[in-house]
Amino acid sequence: MDTTLQDPLVGQVLDGRYRVDARIAVGGMATVYRALDTRLDRVLALKVMHPTLAADGSFVERFIREAKSVARLAHPNVVQVFDQGTDGSYVYLAMEYVAGCTLRDVLRERGALQPRAALDILEPVLAALGAAHRAGFVHRDMKPENVLIGDDGRVKVADFGLVRSVDTVTSTTGAVLGTVSYLAPEQIEQGTADPRVDVYACGVVLHEMLTGGKPHSGDSPAQVLYKHIHEDVPPPSALVPGLPYELDELVAAAAARTADARPQDAVALLALVRAAREALSDAQLDALPPQALTADHDNAEDRTSVIPRSLTSPVLGFAGAGGPSSRPLPVGGEEPADGVQRTSRLQAPPVPARRPRRLMPAVVVAVLLVFGLGAGVWYINSGQFTKVPPLLSKTEAQARARLKAAGLEAGRVKREYNDTVGRGTVIGSDPAPGARIRDHDSVTLTISLGPEMVNVPDVAGRPLAQARARLKADGLEPGMVTRQFSEDVPKGSVIGTTPPAGTRRHADSAIALTVSKGRPVDVPDVTGEDLDSARQDLADAGLKVKIAAQQVNSEYDKGEVAQQSPGDGSRAAEGDTVTLTLSKGPEMVEVPDVVGDSVDDAHKALEGAGFEVDEDRGLLGLFGDTVKKQSPAAHDKAPKGSTVTISIR
């Protein structure tokens, strides 16, 4: 029986905007979905905090801090955050969707990588972290799961959910946040983090890329934490003979147990990586690794966790493979001035011989009941169940091969158009990747047909409304409308489209329309005419008339046309409207007194009042410069713009 439950968010629309299409990954604090921003019509990744954590104010604050922090990091190797919000009990981030896989997927499938490939991945990771460090932030959770490798080869760093200001001292007494396999010793012992904890994690990741396995492993998270504090990361060449010493030195520098021995930040480590690459020959960079050293990657050590400080404190003991013992460890430390005891170093614990344990009969019964043995739903052979492997962004052939390797069958194949995923690539499966199903069950694959292509229909000669309806019916969107005159196409009907009819375009593409303004008409000049004459002249030209509500002063008599729009010389379509503004008559202005003024002063005064000036000098005034007379007389009212004559003697 398939016990896989349908994710309740898939198919829902968050915040009235984000349609959740598929679950991509599940982490310790949040689930990531592929979603569609219905407002901007773009595919994105939606990171939704687990509802149980959304009630915790500190986690919500950290979630919001991630959005604000990453928004400040404009870097090509950082996954961009577009939006942050809440919808009921769901707190989410809307982020850039990177079609591809994670570095964890690559390591799980290939094991150890060639040195060149490892450095090609590490360099953009360090560039992204370097931008964060120089901007004042620490990632604090670097691991292969947070390194995204796009189908186009781009490498991006994701999940800044534990990002913290470099200037913030992160000393916690209750818990340490992070992923066990990549925590720096100072994170474990003091709970503090600066850029060098990211450098340490990158050293561990580089070791894992070069060897195919993690440097520290154990039967419990506590044992792994203990090794981080007390054991150096081994040189990669100890596990993969033949690796050059430059790579050993690079791992040793980045993953030094003492923070002061590491490069100060990712920028400094990037310089070391580039120097190491320069020192290696092409043969060394391209050397094929031996049989991959693989580890079980599907365990809790790969997840971001809230790690109880009880697992990192000095009262831990170990009983070998049997797990933690009850004996406290000796603690080395000093009593500081503030009276607070702090751990400086843990001593190695004794490892007693493992003893078999017996389950009490009552305990056995309880365990069987928990697993449903009495109800007949627990199968003795747990191997009858498996997980659906990652299939997204794989070709159909690759997906079938992965299913076969996992002991599953490729069932029905559905094909759908998709604007963002190339033709022949998996865009979904049922059950989804990671789902637990029975061996040999079938998995339905959804394969992309690529962007849907349609022919642009011929809508020439159709009225605009009909043309728009036809475009929508054919899966296209009516776009910008441009209007132009046409002797042949009636006004309001479509002349043509851009692109032209018959062109193939993606579904939902916008198609521009050119619409006829009708036969062009030369607009006659009717200014200065009385209203009846102006109406008749415009009607004879095939135009309509509208009278403006406001009248204006003008040189024309009251009631005559003072202005028109469009004006003389313009072209309009037949049936267009010409707006006429009627005159209130000329504006009457008081004439200044300029008798006795010089000619220049008289000009300034009269022209300043809005009049034209005419000089009458006669024979006696040829050489004069004084105004002896003016007409109209001073203080009379005269139309603004009319002429005042001054006599000069």
* DSSP string for residues in 600-619: HHHHHHHHHTT-EEEEE-TT
How, if at all, do strands 510-516 and 477-484 pair? parallel
Picking from 44, 25, 29, the residue whose alpha carbon sits closest to that of residue 144 is 25
Q: Whole-angstrom distance between the N-terminal and C-terminal Cα of the chain?
A: 121
Q: Rounded to an integer, what distance in angstroms lies between the CA atom of residue 103 and that of residue 147?
A: 6
Q: Rounded to an integer, what distance in angstroms lies between the CA atom of residue 187 and that of residue 138?
A: 12
- The sign one gets for the Cα dihedral 336, 339, 342, 345 is positive
DSSP classification of residue 302: G
Picking from 454, 519, 458, the residue whose alpha carbon sits closest to that of residue 494 is 458
| Cβ–Cβ under 8 Å, residues 479 and 515 | no
Opening angle at CA 16, ends 15 and 22, nearest 5: 80
Active-site hit among 105, 141, 194, 597: 141
Peptide linkage before 451 cis (omega within 30 of 0): no
Contacts of 299 (CB under 8 A, 6+ apart): none
* DSSP string for residues in 114-181: -HHHHHHHHHHHHHHHHHHHHTTEE----SGGGEEEETTS-EEE---TT-EETTS----SSEEEE-GG
Cα–Cα distances (Å) from 335 to 309, 312, 330, 345, 417, in that order, read: 20, 20, 15, 14, 68
Beta bridge partners, 496, equal: 514
Residue type at position 444: T
| Cβ–Cβ under 8 Å, residues 171 and 133 | no
Show the 3-state SS of 33-96.
Answer: EEEEECCCCEEEEEEEECHHHHCCHHHHHHHHHHHHHHHCCCCCCECCEEEEEEECCEEEEEEE
Beta bridge partners, 20, equal: 35
| Cβ–Cβ under 8 Å, residues 470 and 454 | no
Q: What are phi and psi of 120, to 5 degrees?
A: -60, -30
Structure tokens at 475: 């899966």
Q: Rounded to an integer, what distance in angstroms lies between the CA atom of residue 596 and that of residue 609?
A: 18
Whether 141 is a known active-site residue: answer yes
Residue pointed to by tokens 């008559």 = 585
Structure tokens at 577: 């409207």
Dihedral Cα 9, 14, 20, 23, nearest 10 deg: -50
How many CA within 13 A on the CB side of residue 199?
30
| Cβ–Cβ under 8 Å, residues 202 and 269 | yes
Q: Which residues are catalytic?
A: 141
